[in-house]
Copies of this chain bind each other. A is one copy, B any other.
Amino acid sequence: MSGQNGRSLSARRYSCENCPLRPLPAFRAFEKQELVFVNGFKKGELTVDKGDTVLVEGSHSAHLYTVLSGWAFRYKLLPDGRRQILNYSMPGDLIGLQGSLMGEMQHSVEALSPMLLCLFEREALPELYRSHPGLAYDITWIASREERMLDENLLSVGRRTALERAAYLIAFISSRGRAVGLNGRTPVQIPITQQHLADTLGLSLVHTNKTIRKLMDRKLIFWRDGGCEVVDNERLKELARWEGLSEDRRPLI
């Protein structure tokens, strides 16, 4: 499995002016002229398969991506193979900013599903900063948002119990998913295995299974078709003592 097999650069299907994501209420409106610039900034589209590695720790990627569709996760490894998943990426999220700014990647990114990515060149970033300060500001904003999510994750792993942690994580992911329209009116299907959950929560696989089971027994979630569905997001949040996402519109680069 896995590897970098399913990657392929495809013709552009979307110009930024008719981006399928931008109309969503989660994103703030862009000036016409910003849209034009971003459209020029975009160099192509990339499709990757489930299990493909999008970016790998230690590499110096020349690219930066925005997720158009699909899911991925960001992770780090210890030398002996222990894995910590840091966060998940879904439509509208930027991938590879750290590497673009700082050179070497210090984490890897792997696709959880087939994905469609917008591709940007790292070298074009300085020009963006020079000509479009508003977009530059947006990029910093996006970096801050990532930091905020990490803060909450760290709080969770450090101080919440296993049950609270699992409840928080699932509520968090599904809230983010709903915000970018990953549902229709059916619940969001989160395409992860229990091993992914375990590696995000800092728990063993077996204990994660038993913890998830408690959430299922309480009818807060259920597990189906190799993925997780949320039944009662409110009670998950309550159980986790989590306030929920802030609802501000955010930029989409």
Contacts and interface: CB of A to CB of B under 8 A. Distances in A.
Interface of A: 76, 78-80, 82-84, 86, 97-98, 101-104, 106-107, 125-126, 129-130, 133-134, 136-137, 139-141, 143-148, 150-155, 157-160, 199-202, 241, 246, 248
A146 B129 CA distance: 20
Given A150-B154, A151-B150, A153-B154, A133 B126 contact: yes
Nearest to A134: B129
Contacts of A83: 159
Looking at chain A's contact residues, is the secondary structure mostly helix, strand, loop, or mixed?
A: helix
Contacts of A130: 133
Contacts of A248: 102-103
Contact of A139 (B107, B134, B140, B159): B140
Contacts of A147: 98, 143, 146-147, 150
6 shortest A-B CB distances, which residue pairs? A158-B202, A129-B133, A143-B143, A84-B155, A150-B150, A84-B158
**Copy total for this chain:** 2
A141 B106 CA distance: 14
Nearest to A133: B129
Contact of A136 (B129, B153, B202): B129
A244 to B, nearest CB: 12
A154 B155 contact: no
A152 B42 CA distance: 31
Given A106-B148, A150-B150, A82 B137 contact: no
A241 B78 contact: yes
A225 to B, nearest CB: 27
A80 B158 CA distance: 14
